[in-house]
């Protein structure tokens, strides 16, 4: 694993849980301290649940209560309230946190499974047999053998360059100043995110957790990080009492929209920011990396164990790239609507922004219609035309099992599973046996587990005209038995 960012740590933890021996290398001895992600959706937290860190994530995050759009005078012109309870994926749909806190949780949890990250080790070469590294303190060169190499090395990925992959531009570049602050009391925030839709100075303000806040300001051509940072007291004045906030970090970022043209060369694969970059307006960049990790870990583990041929690895980019590109295009549309144009155009766009914007109540809408269904193939059987479930992700309600109330994934287990409202037909049952699926039934007997839920799963199956579904380890529907 090249890179101990959140993506690298997550895929390392998932692989370790599937019995794969993993080493994580990073050029820095300590986690990256600059301000970055502050939001994860429920689907991303579901991936953290696979690592067993969702409760610790809950302790360092809080559900967001909604989104307000403000005009240039900071008057709200639209408010979108967000339910803070568990959503479709069994966790709140919008969660605010501070990325270094998440990285600390991941380092500790993953470290317990695979040992500590090897920091101060820079990867300079890669081939089918492993990586070449340089110890940053001593300059010593070392070759580390590996059966597979995952480039989780972020936006300026060395592994990406080494395999000859190039970033494809999706046409968006903006510079923003991102500021993290501590303030004992900012004077009663409402629990959600404020988005200033002012083309002269678009801005975002949000209370994260405890006394932590994030404010972001769009920078204009000719402005420098230092120049805008010097004006922070005036820029922050509307949000905080005078002298109250302490600036913890302030950094200029160029937000880009790019997707790598090639995510794999043999057993060298790109994951997370190494494979794609998106502006943070829908809060999905890191979530996309965790989604990559979830999609890839079981595939790589299966191939390494000799239970599938290498072609399974081809499905990784085929499944993830269309989704990531669609999400990135949504983020670009939202960013442009929020920040672009003066006068009438900006006024017309404002209500549109409301339906799209980053975070609470919003990104579900932002992404509905863009979340792609995985393409058909050996691992997504879409030949049953009556059901449109294959290639989509199963919801995660709470279920009752043996007198306990747990989230569905905890019952489904780490591998494949056959989820049945009625018996599976012969073909699906054979397929399930071949991949060693655990059977989970919504009623009856003879299954490995019988669960009852609040009706979510029956409704989902009935809506997709399915009696039973075979789920892959990443909870994507692989095949169905059609229902009535
Ligand atoms: C201002 C800002 C706000 C954001 N807000 C959100 C948000 O709200 N929600 C969201 O989901 N996402 C957000 N993002 C995006 C999110 O932060 C990134 O997608 C995420 O950090 C990417 O994680 P990663 O593990 O892929 O890469 P990184 O976190 O960049 O980690 C890469 C690691 O690889 C190491 N490395 C690099 N090269 C080498 C090498 N040659 N050898 C060894 N190690 C190497 C680096 O040291 C680093 O530790 C935001 C980003 C920014 C900049």
pLDDT tens-digit readout, 384-431 = 878 899 999 999 999 999 899 999 999 999 999 999 999 999 999 999
Asked whether 39 and 61 are in contact (CB, 8 A), the reply is: no
pLDDT at 366: 45
* 100 within ligand 1 shell (Cβ under 6 A): no
Q: How confident is the model at residue 39 (pLDDT cuts 50, 70, 90)?
A: very high
Residue 296: which residues within 8 A CB-CB, separation 6 or more? 11, 150, 269, 271, 316, 320
pLDDT at 258 over 70: yes
Asked whether 316 and 329 are in contact (CB, 8 A), the reply is: no
Kindly state the tokens that stand for 83.
């339910």
**What stretches of 192-310 show up as alpha helix (H) in DSSP?**
225-230, 232-236, 285-304
pTM of the model: 0.94
* 31 within ligand 1 shell (Cβ under 6 A): no
The residue whose CA is least distant from atom 38 of ligand 1 is 153
pLDDT at 363 over 50: no
Please give the residue that has the higher pLDDT: either 243 or 140: 140
pLDDT at 303: 98
pLDDT at 349: 47
How large is the average pLDDT for residues 4-22?
A: 97
The residue whose CA is least distant from atom 52 of ligand 1 is 36
pLDDT at 372: 72
How large is the average pLDDT for residues 94-110?
A: 94
Lowest-confidence range among 110-119, 345-354, 455-464? 345-354
pLDDT at 459 over 70: yes
Looking at the CA of residue 32, tell me the nearest atom of ligand 1. 49
Q: How confident is the model at residue 31 (pLDDT cuts 50, 70, 90)?
A: confident
By percentage, how much of the chain surpasses pLDDT 70?
93
407 beta partners: 398
CA 325/CA 294 separation, integer angstroms: 17
**What stretches of 18-116 show up as alpha helix (H) in DSSP?**
42-50, 54-60, 99-114
Provide the phi-psi class of 210: left if phi over 0, else alpha when psi is between -120 and 50, else beta.
Answer: left
How large is the average pLDDT for residues 60-85?
A: 90
By percentage, how much of the chain surpasses pLDDT 90?
78
Counting runs of H as helices and runs of E as strands, what totals does the chain give? 14, 27
pLDDT at 335: 84
How large is the average pLDDT for residues 265-283?
A: 95
Q: How confident is the model at residue 353 (pLDDT cuts 50, 70, 90)?
A: low
Asked whether 219 and 227 are in contact (CB, 8 A), the reply is: no
Average pLDDT, the chain: 91
Cα angle 25, 31, 37 (rounded to 5 degrees) comes to: 115
324 beta partners: none
Please give the residue that has the higher pLDDT: either 352 or 89: 89
* 28 within ligand 1 shell (Cβ under 6 A): yes
In the reported structure, the alpha carbon of residue 16 is separated from the centroid of ligand 1 by a whole-number distance in angstroms of: 21
pLDDT at 341: 52
In the reported structure, the alpha carbon of residue 254 is separated from the centroid of ligand 1 by a whole-number distance in angstroms of: 13
pLDDT at 369 over 70: no
Give the gyration radius of the chain's Cα atoms.
23
Burial 276-290 (b: 16+ CB within 10 A, else e): bbbbbbbbbbbbbbb
CA 193/CA 349 separation, integer angstroms: 19
Q: How confident is the model at residue 343 (pLDDT cuts 50, 70, 90)?
A: very low
CA 35/CA 179 separation, integer angstroms: 7
In the reported structure, the alpha carbon of residue 5 is separated from the centroid of ligand 1 by a whole-number distance in angstroms of: 6
Is residue 87 classed exposed, middle or buried when 0-12, 13-18 and 19+ CB atoms within 10 A define those classes? buried
311-321 tens-digit pLDDT: 999 999 999 99
pLDDT at 365: 46
CATH of domain 6-61+96-168+258-367: 3.50.50.60
In the reported structure, the alpha carbon of residue 241 is separated from the centroid of ligand 1 by a whole-number distance in angstroms of: 32
CA atoms within 13 Å, Cβ hemisphere of 181: 27
pLDDT at 465: 95
Of the candidates 271, 323, 265, the residue with the CA atom closest to the CA atom of residue 292: 271
Looking at the CA of residue 10, tell me the nearest atom of ligand 1. 25
175-220 tens-digit pLDDT: 999 999 999 987 767 889 998 988 889 999 999 999 999 999 999 9
CA 121/CA 295 separation, integer angstroms: 27
pLDDT at 160: 98
CA 239/CA 215 separation, integer angstroms: 9
pLDDT at 282: 85
Lowest-confidence range among 12-16, 127-131, 203-207, 217-221? 127-131
pLDDT at 16 over 50: yes
Please give the residue that has the higher pLDDT: either 181 or 81: 181
How large is the average pLDDT for residues 341-360?
A: 48
Please give the residue that has the higher pLDDT: either 358 or 160: 160
In the reported structure, the alpha carbon of residue 356 is separated from the centroid of ligand 1 by a whole-number distance in angstroms of: 24
């Amino acid at each position: 694993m090249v890179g101990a960012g959140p993506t690298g740590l997550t895929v390392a933890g998932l692989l370790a849980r599937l019995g794969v021996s993993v080493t994580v290398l990073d050029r820095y001895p300590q986690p990256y301290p600059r301000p970055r992600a502050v939001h994860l959706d429920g689907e991303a937290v579901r991936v953290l649940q696979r690592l067993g860190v969702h409760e610790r994530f809950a302790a360092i995050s809080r559900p967001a209560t909604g989104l307000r759009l403000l005009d240039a005078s900071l008057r709200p012109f639209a408010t979108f309230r967000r339910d803070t309870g568990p959503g479709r994926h069994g966790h709140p749909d919008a969660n605010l946190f501070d990325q270094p806190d998440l990285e600390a949780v991941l380092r500790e949890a993953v470290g317990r499974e695979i040992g500590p990250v090897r920091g101060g080790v820079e990867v300079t070469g890669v081939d089918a047999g492993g990586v070449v590294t340089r110890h940053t303190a001593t300059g010593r060169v070392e070759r580390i053998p590996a059966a597979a190499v995952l480039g989780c090395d972020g936006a300026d990925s060395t592994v990406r360059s080494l395999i000859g992959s190039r970033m494809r531009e999706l046409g968006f570049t903006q510079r923003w100043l991102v500021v993290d602050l501590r303030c004992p009391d900012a004077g009663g925030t409402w629990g959600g995110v404020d988005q200033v839709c002012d083309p002269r100075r678009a801005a975002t303000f949000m209370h994260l957790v405890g006394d932590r806040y994030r404010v972001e300001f769009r920078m204009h051509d000719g402005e420098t990080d230092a120049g805008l940072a010097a004006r922070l007291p005036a820029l922050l004045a509307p949000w905080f009492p005078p002298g109250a906030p302490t600036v913890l970090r302030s950094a200029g970022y160029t937000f880009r929209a790019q997707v790598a043209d090639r995510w794999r060369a043999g057993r060298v694969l790109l994951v997370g920011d190494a494979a794609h970059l998106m502006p943070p307006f829908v809060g999905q960049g890191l979530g996309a990396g965790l989604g990559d990790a979830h999609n890839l870990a079981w595939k790589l583990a299966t191939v390494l164990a000799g239970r599938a041929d290498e072609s399974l690895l081809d499905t990784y980019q085929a499944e993830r790239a269309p989704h990531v590109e669609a999400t990135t295009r949504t983020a670009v549309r939202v960013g442009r609507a929020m920040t672009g144009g003066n006068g009438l155009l900006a006024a017309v766009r404002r209500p549109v922004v409301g339906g799209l914007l980053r975070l609470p109540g919003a990104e579900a809408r932002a992404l509905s219609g863009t979340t792609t269904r995985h393409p058909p193939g050996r691992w997504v059987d879409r030949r049953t035309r009556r059901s449109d479930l294959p290639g989509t992700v199963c919801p995660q309600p709470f279920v009752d099992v043996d007198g306990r109330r747990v989230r569905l994934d905890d019952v489904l287990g780490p591998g494949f599973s056959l989820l049945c409202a009625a018996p599976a037909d012969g073909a699906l049952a054979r397929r399930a046996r071949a991949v060693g699926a655990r059977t989970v039934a919504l009623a009856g007997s003879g299954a490995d587990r019988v669960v009852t839920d609040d009706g979510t799963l029956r409704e989902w199956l009935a809506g997709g005209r399915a009696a039973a579904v075979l789920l892959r380890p990443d909870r994507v529907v692989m095949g169905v038995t059609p229902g009535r």
